Structure 1
Amino acid sequence: MSALRKVSIKKPAEIETMRRAGGLVAETFRVLDPFVKPGVTLAELDRIAEEHIRAAGALPAYLGYGPKSNPFPGTICASVNEVICHGIPDGRVLEEGDIIGVDIGVLLDGFYGDACHTYTVGQVSPEVQGLVDTTREALEAGVATVRAGSRLGDIGAAIQELAEPRGYSVVEEYTGHGIGKNLHEDPTVFHKGVRYTGLKLEEGMVFTIEPMINLGAAPTELLSDGWTVVTRDRSPSAQFEHTLVVTKKGADLLTV
C-alpha cells in the first residue's frame, strides 16, 4: 500500500468537528495561562486542565493512553526544562526561570485535537528565551510551507533551516502525526527533511507539526518511568505544536 493511500482525507463536516476539538485545546491553554507561575505544581495544572476539558463535554486524550501495563497518568504532558516531551504532571513545583512545555489532547464528538505550548515561568535567561522564541518560529516556518501540492519534506527542511544555523539542535525521534478519529494516524511528520521530497500534500489531510528544539545536543534519553523523554546532556528543550488541515491556499490551523 502506498503512503498516499494510507493518509485519510477528512470531510468538511469532520474538519469542523476537529475545529471544535482544537478550539477546546486552545481554550484550555488560555485557562492555564494565569496559573503557570512559580510555586504551582504540575499536578495542579493537570487538575485545572482536566476539569475544564470534562466540563466542556470532552475527554482528556492522554489520560490512560498507552500500554495497559503503563498507561499515561495525566491529562497534560508537563515537560520542564530538560524534559523534551511526555513529562508526567506530578508534584514538582515550578520555579522562577523554568520553562514548561504543556501538551494537551482532547477527544470531542469522536475526533481528537492536539497542541503544545511552551511557557516561560517568571523571568528566564536570555539564552533560554532565545530557545523558546526559536522553537515558536520553527513551528511557524514549518506551517508556512503547507499547502496542497507541497511536500512533507518541506516542513522538516524549513524547521531545520531555521533552528540549526542559530546553534540549536532538532529532535529526530519524536514527530508530528496525522490525527482524526485516532490520536495518531498517518502521515509521520518529521522535523528534519529535504525540500521537494516526501508525500505530496492534498486538501483535507489533517496532521500535527510539533518541533522539539534543544539548546544543547540532539540525543535523547527515555527515563525509567517509560514516558519522560529528556535531553541526554540535560540541556533545556522547548516544543510548540498545532493541528492543521491542508487547503489549496495553505495551512488552516485547528488549534487556535
Structure 2
Amino acid sequence: MIELKTPDELRLMRRAGLVVAEGLDAMVAAARAGVTTAEVDAVGREVLARHGATSSFLGYGADYGAPFPGVACISTNNELVHGIPGERVLQEGDVVSIDFGAIVDGWHGDAARTIIVGAGAPEDEALIAATREAFWAGAAAMRDGGRVGDVSKAIEGYVKGLPTRYGTLREYTGHGIGSEMHMEPDVPNWHRRRPTPRLSVGMALAIEPMLTTGTHQTLELDDDWTVVSRDGSNGSHWENTVAITEKGIWVLTEHDGGAARLGELFGPLAD
C-alpha cells in the first residue's frame, strides 16, 4: 500500500529532511584528499547525535544477514551506490557519492549528493550536473493527479536530451518514503510503458537518478552492498525526498524546500 501522510506528518518528515540536508553539507565539506570514508561517515554520525536523530541506514539489512555498518553510503568513482565507509583514503579528483538518511520521531528523510574531491575531470563535472538536473526534471513532474510514470518519463527525457550519452541504472530505483525508508511505489529513472500508481497529496517519494559515463550494467561486490559499474565507468547519484502538499511540491531535504528551482510548483506547509 502507498502511504499518504497528513500535513503534520509531512512537517515531521521535513524535520528529518533538514537533518539530512545539514548532514550532507557537513560530509561534503569533510570529503577532502587524505580523509578516509570512515572519517566522513563519522561527521554524519555527529550531526545525527546533535539533533537527537537516528540513522535510516545503520544496521539496515540485518534481517538478510548483512547489516549496513555506516550511517552513510559513500561510493567512490566506479562504485555507484551502497559503498561501505571504511579505510579508503580519498584522493584528488575522486568522484564521491554520499547517500544519507535520518529518522526523527519515526519519520524518514533520505538524500544523496555527488561531488569531486578537489579539481576533477570535465567529464565527471558534466556527469554530476546531468544527474542533478535529471533529479529536478523528475521533481517538477511530481504533482497531484499525475502518475509515478510522469516522474520516470521526465528523468529519462532529460537524460536522453543531453548531447552526451549516459547510462541510467535500472536495477536500482527511487522509492516511496515516510514511516519507513523504502516503501511503495518504486520510482524508476526510465519510462516503463505500463500503468503506474497515481500521485496524490500526502505522497512522498525519494527521487534519485543514478547515472554513469558508460553503460547501465552493474555488479555487486562480495561485501553484499557495494555496487560498481561493470565497465569501470564513474557514476553519480543525486537524490531528495519530495512531498506533494496541499499547496504544491516540497523538497523536504533541501534547505530552501526547493523554492529556488520549483517556482510556482513550490508548496511548503511550514518550515
Fold shared by both chains (TM-score > 0.5): yes
Which residue is 2:82 aligned to?
Answer: 86
Counterpart amino acid of residue 157 in structure 1: K
Deviation digits for residues 119-145 of structure 1 (CA, Å, limit 9, x no counterpart): 111111111111010000100110010
Counterpart amino acid of residue 110 in structure 1: G
Name the CA distance, whole Å, in 1 between partners of 2:206 and 2:28.
Answer: 22
Name the CA distance, whole Å, in 1 between partners of 2:212 and 2:248.
Answer: 28
Deviation digits for residues 78-119 of structure 1 (CA, Å, limit 9, x no counterpart): 011111100000111111111111000111111111000111
Report deviation, 1:157.
Answer: 1.2
SS at match of 1:199: coil
Matched, 1:102 2:98: yes
Which residue is 2:174 aligned to?
Answer: 176
Which residue is 1:167 aligned to?
Answer: 165
Matched, 1:219 2:217: yes
Report deviation, 1:67.
Answer: 2.8
Which residue is 1:3 aligned to?
Answer: none
Name the CA distance, whole Å, in 2 between partners of 1:170 and 1:17.
Answer: 32
Name the CA distance, whole Å, in 2 between partners of 1:100 and 1:159.
Answer: 22
Which residue is 1:139 aligned to?
Answer: 135
Name the CA distance, whole Å, in 1 between partners of 2:211 and 2:160.
Answer: 9
Which residue is 1:228 aligned to?
Answer: 226
Name the CA distance, whole Å, in 1 between partners of 2:195 and 2:116.
Answer: 35
Gaps of 5+ in 2: 255-271
SS at match of 2:124: helix
- Report if aligned partners of 2:19, 2:47 keep a CA contact under 8 Å in 1: no
Q: Identity over aligned residues, as a percent?
A: 42
- Report if aligned partners of 1:147, 1:249 keep a CA contact under 8 Å in 2: no
- Report if aligned partners of 2:27, 2:41 keep a CA contact under 8 Å in 1: no
Which residue is 1:193 aligned to?
Answer: 191
Report deviation, 1:48.
Answer: 1.1
Report deviation, 1:197.
Answer: 4.6
SS at match of 2:137: helix
Matched, 1:26 2:21: yes
Deviation digits for residues 208-248 of structure 1 (CA, Å, limit 9, x no counterpart): 10110010011111111000001110100000000011136
Name the CA distance, whole Å, in 1 between partners of 2:34 and 2:248.
Answer: 41
Runs of 4+ in 1 over 6 A off after TM superposition: none
